[in-house]
Structure 1
């Protein structure tokens, strides 16, 4: 690839990551087992690494590969577990909510017995759902 915008943006990221990790171009080349001129080309924006080298770079520079390539942080959905649980309870049917509340009052032996009873009820045609 020529001296494209993509190369320049990557070069800027690479130089920042090298500085952040206190690694010289020579040291990086040595650790990767490649010519210093290759690393120099990446840092100047005149060359772009192959994907196998990107994977190695991300490991050496302590950055995920997505961020190394795109310059963006991966999109991670953060869920507040307590709010999620509350939201799920709102959607629960009243009988299920009652069953859950009673079930949590039981010890392990009681919970096993309750689960067994519910399983038995599913085998009785009178109590089965009709799809």
Structure 2
């Protein structure tokens, strides 16, 4: 899969508009549009910005890995899981503790 398709899929999966990405990263909307169409490719610096923004590896963006990056104990995470992690990291400690408690309770309910 080419970068343009991978990048476009990420934007759609994460429900991120070109405008939102511009506001969050400073990368101009027109540039993002050219990347989506495949008429240009990002620089190494911009690849790193994209990877950091979506919490994925540059290898993934370039089609070198089938799954998302940032693995723990060999387990790769989906873009949805990474979005949850990104949102979690934006919370204060008290809110994070609440989320952890909720997730643990949910996991306990789903145990056989």
Q: What TM-score results when the alignment is normalised by the length of structure 1?
A: 0.47
Query: May I ask how many residue pairs the two structures share in their alignment?
Result: 70
Q: 8 Å contact 1:13–1:71 — kept in the other structure? A: no
Tell me which stretches of 4 or more aligned residues in structure 1 moved more than 4 Å: none
What RMSD in Å do the two structures reach over aligned CA positions?
Answer: 2.3
Q: 1:24 aligns with which of 17, 26, 36?
A: 17
- Unpaired segments ≥5 residues, structure 2: 75-112
Change over 3 Å in CA distance of 1:71–1:17 after alignment to 2 = farther
Higher relative contact order, structure no. (Cα contacts within 8 Å, ≥ 6 residues apart): 2
**1:45 corresponding residue in structure 2:** 38
Q: Which has the larger radius of gyration?
A: 1
**2:48 corresponding residue in structure 1:** 55
Q: What TM-score results when the alignment is normalised by the length of structure 2?
A: 0.54
In structure 2, C-alpha distance between the alignment counterparts of 1:9 and 1:65, rounded to whole Å: 13
- Unpaired segments ≥5 residues, structure 1: 1-7, 79-131
Q: 8 Å contact 2:6–2:63 — kept in the other structure? A: no
